[in-house]
Structure 1
């Protein structure tokens, strides 16, 4: 049984992958959704988070694996792929960002998603703006925001040169990008494929923004399973 490792979004829990894990398990895959640590000692880089992820997989007896990274998780997944390339069976990036920046007001709204001092109404307004396409309901992501996790993860990204992880690739790569992604504009996926992984399969999904998983669960599961079983 092949193992699929899933790496969640910035300051978000592994449970974001519950529906996708269920779909993968029904197709015969073992799934390991990595829960981020509540805190991380020192001043970690993405390389430190990658090594820690591998230590968790070692403890579970996982040697080779498919890896799926969502949003921030795509950066960590690419760093894992760069640092432990011989263990990666395939790389899947959901909502891949890190090169083409969002509009300036999105950064402030993104930070507000982790601000526990604001009202629920204001919080959900920012979640909607950053993570959900116009016609999609943001309430599935009312909870699940961990500011302390976000802080060390964001700092790790800033401490790590982009060239250390951006171009990481393996023989089999899938990129799933949302056409309405406010945080990781669709051009990120196109640039990564064109410049670093011309052999990759690029799937662009309409009617979705940065959250993706609760917005278009069937489309994402179909794209991922077709790729993994192809």
Structure 2
């Protein structure tokens, strides 16, 4: 299934130009899904999942964040609310609300912020590798930072990718590249500048939580804690043989989980 590119623009609150680009798959009349990528990662991480959902009749939009591909705009002193305005503009202009908004890792924070700020645009929220209040171990934190360290040797870099993002039996080479340090710094700063309580509840929307059982960064205990806090509003599905990357490890299974949730 082919992707269709889009390009739209908007002005931020200071009047600066923001260019928002991405791709769409699936029939125009299909139920809309928007997917937000992980920290410093491109929308193409979702390609296999998006194609599977597109073949099933869904209309899937994959936005690129500022700094990746042709998307551009101010990159400093942003909050998650600023980045959520980008997502909201994509939903209103390209995807057509209300959508199921799915975020992977960092993307789950952005998805929850968008749902909290603009609940009328989001019917459901999907969290992949959601993280939470339980901190990642120090070794995993160092591996995450190492994925963006351009000074590491290729062997050191891929070991960081392997430890931080992939289950023991899976090949990390599929994520050998795609690491955007400037975008990571922008997004990390936006997280620090945004109170957790602003986005934690995701606007009260129904929530799908997909938890990889070998995730070294977003530990399974976080998903269990979130389910305990939200009760029936959250549907928790555990994913074996997958780590923090999840998407390249189990794309068919993730697409099936999303379909089952939407079609239940």
Question: TM-score range with shorter-chain normalisation?
Answer: over 0.9
CA distance in 2 between partners of 1:115 and 1:54 (Å): 31
Residue aligned with 2:233, SS = coil
Among 218, 234, 239, the residue aligned to 1:184: 218
For structure 2, list consecutive stretches of 5 or more residues without a partner in the other structure: 1-29
For structure 1, list consecutive stretches of 5 or more residues without a partner in the other structure: none
What residue number does 1:124 align with? 158
2:56 is aligned with 1:27: yes
What residue number does 1:2 align with? 31
Residue aligned with 1:60, SS = helix
Deviates more, 1:169-178 or 1:97-106: 169-178
What residue number does 1:146 align with? 180
CA distance in 1 between partners of 2:193 and 2:106 (Å): 14
What residue number does 1:18 align with? 47
2:256 is aligned with 1:222: yes
How far does residue 200 in structure 1 lie from its aligned partner after superposition?
1.7
Q: Structure 1 stretches (4+) deviating beyond 6 angstroms?
A: none
Q: 1:209 to 1:162 in 2, by over 3 A?
A: same
How far does residue 40 in structure 1 lie from its aligned partner after superposition?
4.6
TM-score for the superposition, normalised by structure 2: 0.84
Higher relative contact order (CA 8 A, sep 6+): 1
Q: 1:49 to 1:191 in 2, by over 3 A?
A: same
Among 157, 165, 186, the residue aligned to 2:191: 157
Q: Give CA-to-partner distance per residue, 1:139-173, whole Å, 9 cap, x none.
A: 11001110000000011001111111112254432
Residue aligned with 1:69, SS = strand
CA distance in 2 between partners of 1:49 and 1:126 (Å): 27
Task: Report how many residues are paired.
Answer: 230
CA distance in 2 between partners of 1:116 and 1:52 (Å): 28
Deviates more, 1:57-66 or 1:200-209: 57-66
How far does residue 117 in structure 1 lie from its aligned partner after superposition?
1.9
Q: Give CA-to-partner distance per residue, 1:90-134, whole Å, 9 cap, x none.
A: 111101113111101211211110112211111000000100011
Please tell me the root mean square deviation across aligned C-alpha atoms, in Å.
1.4
